Chains A and B, each alone.
Chain A
Amino acid sequence: MTEPAFFILTALIDNPRHGYGIVAEVAELSQGRVQLKIGSLYGALDRLVGDGLVELDREEAWQGRLRRYYRVTEQGRDALAAEAHRLAANARLAAARLGDQRSPITGTSS
């Protein structure tokens, strides 16, 4: 799973969001580290929709435009859970190797 796809799914877990809503949420979630460009957002979104991980929730009129809201599917939740599990396992591995140094997972010295 690419990083944009990972963050898009994460942004959609609590609420359906529209295109820019996803960009803003991802920026906030990552504390400004991940600034999705519109091309990368829709490049990832069309794949997620194609793979059935994300689907259209509703369309709403806003300032004369139609905003499309997307929501994550059950399959999307499962995929994100699996990816989060994999990343956490990797992070634990690195943290264990780092030994008595500060653990990046818990943020405390182990």
Chain B
Amino acid sequence: MSRLEERYRTLLRLLPAGYRQEWEDDMVAAFLESMDTGDPETTAYLADYGRPSLSEAASIVSLAVRLRLGADASPRSRRWGQAVRLATLMAMLTHAVLATGGVAVALWYSGKLAWLPAPAPELMLTGPASIWSTTWDLAGYAWLPAYVALVLGYRRVAQAVALLAIAPPAITTAVAQAVGDVPLTVSPWALLLVDVVLLLAMAAFQHGVPPVPRRPWLLALPIGVVLVALPLFILQAVEPALRLLDWPGLAGAAVTVAMAVHLAVRATRRSTRTLPWSLAFTLLAATAFALRAATLPDYHDQAQRAALTTIASVQIVAILAVGVPLAVSAVRALRDTPAATSPPTPAP
């Protein structure tokens, strides 16, 4: 076996075992032939030092996502696919809602919304704005078009726009921490990691999966802004104690509340359609838990360390208290779902 073939077979391991059993050798043969240049010397060189091109690798990754999470996956994998899509939508919705709420509040504070009563002077808690924080804020607003694009079915557009939301904060954080403008902390990096995972998870919305129901997900945007984002910003402005809730804290609280609501709804309406939601909340709870736990060391140098640590501990307990029973019941329900359908077989 040539090195090139070894590399290609390694790449093919991304595909489900049943699929590989059926198609792997054929795919390898076709791939190796596609690398045959006709010149024996070049072909021999490629056999040793060649690699599958980026576009070849991308085609395998996309096939793997479809087979593992998409329309062609086993019933159990399909549930996970639905769960990943729901969790991605919910996380993107949260980003979009907070971005829109942020725009509205910024406009209000700056007096652009003349028809609203002017905010009290003590509400204007924006500190001296640096170029870094401005870039950060502007980039964050990209989550709104990214979310809308994803709901409307423009997955690649959504990913490209989300990259705009992720890249500038990554650069500004790296620069600001490197020059010592801000202390070295885990939080911004942990949040960025979640955003990158979100960007990759959008791959689960590939061709062939059922489209996102547009009306409820688009409606959720204004409802979320009015019922969650605006009250939250105003409360944080009015009640300084609430500012102790940082972003991982808010995410944890939001996930805990959402899980509690989901459990209540599920208790009244027994339906098989709730399983992907339960799995999605399990994914979100695991993320919120990891985020909260990973960002705890950042409290070390804070003045209100004791209060912050207490709040964070309560959050961790709350996430676990609601999340663990939900995860256990979801995994049990998943076990009742068939693990696999038979792999496709060519006709004799």
Q: In the complex, what residues of A have CB within 8 A of residue B58's CB?
A: 37, 39
| Closest chain A residue, CB of each to CB of B56 | A37
In Å, the complex CA distance between A47 and B34 comes to 22
Taking CB atoms and an 8 Å cut-off, the chain A residues in 7-56 that contact chain B are: 18-20, 23, 37-43, 46-47, 49-50, 52, 55-56
Query: Assuming the A-B contacts A19-B29, A55-B346, are A46 and B23 also in contact, with contact meaning beta carbons closer than 8 angstroms in the complex?
Result: yes
In the bound complex, how far is the Cα of B345 from the Cα of A28, in angstroms? 29
Binds B, one of A62-70, A79-87, A91-99: A62-70
> Interface-forming stretch among B59-67, B263-271, B327-335?
B59-67
Contact check, B62 vs A43: say whether CB atoms are below 8 A apart: yes
Whole-angstrom CA separation of A68 from B19 in the bound complex: 16
Contact yes or no, A49 B26, CB < 8 A:
no
23 contacts between A and B (CB under 8 A): A18-B29, A18-B30, A19-B30, A19-B33, A20-B30, A20-B34, A23-B34, A38-B60, A39-B58, A39-B62, A40-B59, A42-B23, A43-B63, A46-B72, A46-B344, A47-B72, A49-B344, A55-B347, A56-B346, A56-B347, A65-B29, A66-B29, A73-B347
**In whole angstroms, what is the CA distance A38 to B27 when docked?**
7
Known contacts A20-B30, A38-B31; A49/B59 CB under 8 A: no
B207 close to A (CB within 8 Å): yes
Asked if B298 is at the interface (CB within 8 A of a chain A CB), the reply is no
Bound together, the chains give a CA A108 to CA B72 distance in angstroms of 44
A20-B30, A38-B34, A39-B56 are known contacts. Are A66 and B25 too (CB-CB below 8 A)?
Answer: yes
Residues in chain B near residue A19, CB distance under 8 A: 26-27, 29-30, 33
User: 8 Å CB contacts to A: which residues of B17-70?
Assistant: 19, 22-23, 25-27, 29-34, 55-56, 58-63, 66
The answer to the question of B128 belonging to the interface, with a C-beta cut-off of 8 Å to chain A, is no
On chain B, the residues within 8 Å of A56 by CB distance are 346-348
Q: Is the CB of B60 within 8 A of A39?
A: yes
Which residues of B approach A to under 8 Å, CB–CB?
A: 19, 22-23, 25-27, 29-34, 55-56, 58-63, 66, 72, 207, 344-348
A to B contact number (C-beta, < 8 Å): 72
Q: Report the minimal beta-carbon distance from B32 to chain A, rounded to whole angstroms.
A: 8
> Which B residues touch A20, using CB under 8 A?
29-30, 33-34
Task: Report B50 CB to chain A, min CB distance, Å.
Answer: 14
Tell me which residues across on chain A come within 8 A of B344, comparing CB atoms: 46, 49-50
Cβ–Cβ contact B56 & A43, under 8 A? no
CA distance A73 to B348 in the complex (A): 12
> CA separation between A40 and B59, bound complex, in Å?
6
B2 → A minimal CB distance (Å): 12
Please measure, in the bound complex, the distance between the C-alpha atom of A38 and the C-alpha atom of B56, giving whole angstroms: 7
Chain B residue nearest to A52 in the complex (CB): B347
Cross-chain contact B347 with A43 (CB below 8 angstroms): no
B19 touches A46 (CB 8 A): yes
A110 to B: closest C-beta gap in Å: 35
Chain A residue numbers with a CB within 8 Å of B25 are 65-66
CA distance A42 to B66 in the complex (A): 12
Q: Compute how far the CA of A55 lies from the CA of B346 in the bound complex, rounded to whole angstroms.
A: 6
CA distance A68 to B29 in the complex (A): 9
- Chain A residue contacts of B30, Cβ below 8 A: 18-20, 23, 38, 41-42
The distance in angstroms between the C-alpha atoms of A2 and B206, with both chains bound, is 13
Let me know if B59 and A37 touch, CB within 8 A: yes
Per the bound structure, the CA–CA distance linking A65 and B31 in Å amounts to 12
